Structure 1
Amino acid sequence: MMHPDDAVDDGGEGVELHRSRGNLPLAIICVAAGVMVLGVAVEGSLLRMLVALGVVLIAGRVLVGALRPFRFVIGPEGLDVRRPGLRGTYRWEQFEALAVDESARLVGVPAAGFPPGVRITARHPRDHRPAVELLDLHQVREQPDEVVAALTRWSGGRFTDARTLSAGEFATTTFAFTRGLRGYDMREVDRLVGRAQDALAHGGDAERRAARAEIEQARAAGLEVALRGYDSAQVDAALDALCAALTDTDTPTDRTTPA
């Protein structure tokens, strides 16, 4: 939670976010266990050595990421950021728009004067303009609603909370999941998302119930994990939102036009 001096209505002070370190203990344990296995491995146990080495490399990457310098402050002048790929103060007028998307990522559409060289890795969830991924809200201790309140207060009307889209908007939105090691199988996710969006765009109640049931069954069985796939937290958030939209039958296609 936010500290008392970080409150959103605290006069002119900015709101500083704090990185979540929930994966840090597990990463340390995995690195230590992998090193121990490598230390006792004997000649002829090549498979065990390779598995242990893979565990050390993956856990080491998580460990390094958790220990990197991190700063993210939302204030009256803009965003003060220090994280991999972004470093500096970004003024509000350097963004055409900002949004938290359905995967709980904060993205910003660059405006004139935005520093060059920053990679465009996302899109605005409403109009799909190229955007910069500024922060994954799953990686900070503060609740998304707290972050949204700060952005709404300071950004001068540039911010949109797109986590809760209407059924019609979900039917046409483009999900830009981050790709990385050990993520959900991309083909399976694309199939489930496409099935849900088709039901939202063209289906009736029965089609929407069937699409929701398909998502729920796939998740209950466990989505397939691939060596390279979509970020699991982002996919889980998107599937949660799609299931909610599929449950809501009060959509523009369901309403009867008044006489």
Structure 2
Amino acid sequence: MELHRSRGNLPLAIICVAAGVMVLGVAVEGSLLRMLVALGVVLIAGRVLVGALRPFRFVIGPEGLDVRRPGLRGTYRWEQFEALAVDESARLVGVPAAGFPPGVRITARHPRDHRPAVELLDLHQVREQPDEVVAALTRWSGGRFTDARTLSAGEFATTTFAFTRGLRGYDMREVDRLVGRAQDALAHGGDAERRAARAEIEQARAAGLEVALRGYDSAQVDAALDALCAALTDTDTPTDRTTPA
């Protein structure tokens, strides 16, 4: 199964680069602030544009993974991984085994047992649906793969959410507070505490999570909060649910 990179941000990046260049071109002497803003837009959009145009290849097959993307390039056999998993943020991670090529950065952890792992792919960055990718990994990986997107309440209470940090994303303190509140409710709270934690997350998202110049990846946070809300809902007891008259 060959995956294809999503081009969702490409048109916006092109527009931003063009607009920024136009503003720079017409800026007059003394318009320092406008020039700085335009330059910042061009640099950020240019980075997105360059990333979208870089070579990309990701193939899941009976022998292993054929990968070509920034920071990771090569063919990796299934036996070179002790385990693979898709975590709660829809990232595919692999725990290296003996024979795994040296020099690859360890940037993640297995979502179940927290062993050091390599981030192989962010499923939000490809056009194929996560369930399609999961099906291919389940078929070919020889029992090494775990779909950890849906954890039990107890597992959610102790899991570590390793969100990617970027130049612009959700405010880290607010996200950490919401995640910590939910995990505390799952680990130690009763039904009332779990409902309150879920309501707090829903209210914060309805109002709009604060965006910071340096923050957590928004897609990963959204996926994690969705999963936490589902876990908080699933722990309700039958007596807490409304029974039709």
Category of TM-score, reference length = shorter chain: over 0.9
> 2:202 & 2:238 partners in 1: Cα distance?
25
Deviation digits for residues 165-197 of structure 1 (CA, Å, limit 9, x no counterpart) = 011110000000011110111111100000000
Give yes or no for contact 2:171–2:215 (8 Å, CA) kept in 1.
Answer: yes
Give the superposition deviation at 1:221. 1.1
Aligned residues between the structures: 245
> 1:205 & 1:171 partners in 2: Cα distance?
15
Give yes or no for contact 1:168–1:252 (8 Å, CA) kept in 2.
Answer: no
Q: Return the TM-score normalized by structure 2.
A: 0.96
> 1:251 & 1:239 partners in 2: Cα distance?
21
The alignment partner of 2:33 has SS state of helix
Give the superposition deviation at 1:43. 1.1
> 1:21 & 1:51 partners in 2: Cα distance?
25
Give the superposition deviation at 1:46. 0.8
> 1:178 & 1:152 partners in 2: Cα distance?
25
The alignment partner of 1:253 has SS state of helix
> 2:238 & 2:106 partners in 1: Cα distance?
33
| Residues 98 and 255 of structure 1, relative CA distance in 2, 3 Å threshold | farther
Give the superposition deviation at 1:71. 0.2
> 1:256 & 1:237 partners in 2: Cα distance?
27
| Residues 183 and 256 of structure 1, relative CA distance in 2, 3 Å threshold | closer
Q: Return the TM-score normalized by structure 1.
A: 0.91
Aligned position for 1:59? 45
| Residues 208 and 85 of structure 1, relative CA distance in 2, 3 Å threshold | same
> 1:253 & 1:94 partners in 2: Cα distance?
49
Give the superposition deviation at 1:255. 15
Structure 1 segments of 4 or more deviating over 6 A? 251-259
Give yes or no for contact 1:185–1:229 (8 Å, CA) kept in 2.
Answer: yes
> 2:115 & 2:238 partners in 1: Cα distance?
25
Deviates more, 1:68-77 or 1:242-251: 242-251
Runs of at least 5 residues in structure 2 that lack an aligned partner in the other structure? none
| Residues 34 and 156 of structure 1, relative CA distance in 2, 3 Å threshold | same
Deviates more, 1:43-52 or 1:103-112: 43-52
Cα RMSD (Å): 3.5
| Residues 208 and 146 of structure 1, relative CA distance in 2, 3 Å threshold | same
Aligned position for 1:23? 9
| Residues 95 and 253 of structure 1, relative CA distance in 2, 3 Å threshold | farther
> 1:143 & 1:257 partners in 2: Cα distance?
36
Give the superposition deviation at 1:251. 8.1
Runs of at least 5 residues in structure 1 that lack an aligned partner in the other structure? 1-14
Give yes or no for contact 2:94–2:118 (8 Å, CA) kept in 1.
Answer: yes
> 1:43 & 1:30 partners in 2: Cα distance?
22
Deviation digits for residues 9-33 of structure 1 (CA, Å, limit 9, x no counterpart) = xxxxxx0000000110000000000
Aligned position for 2:152? 166
| Residues 203 and 71 of structure 1, relative CA distance in 2, 3 Å threshold | same
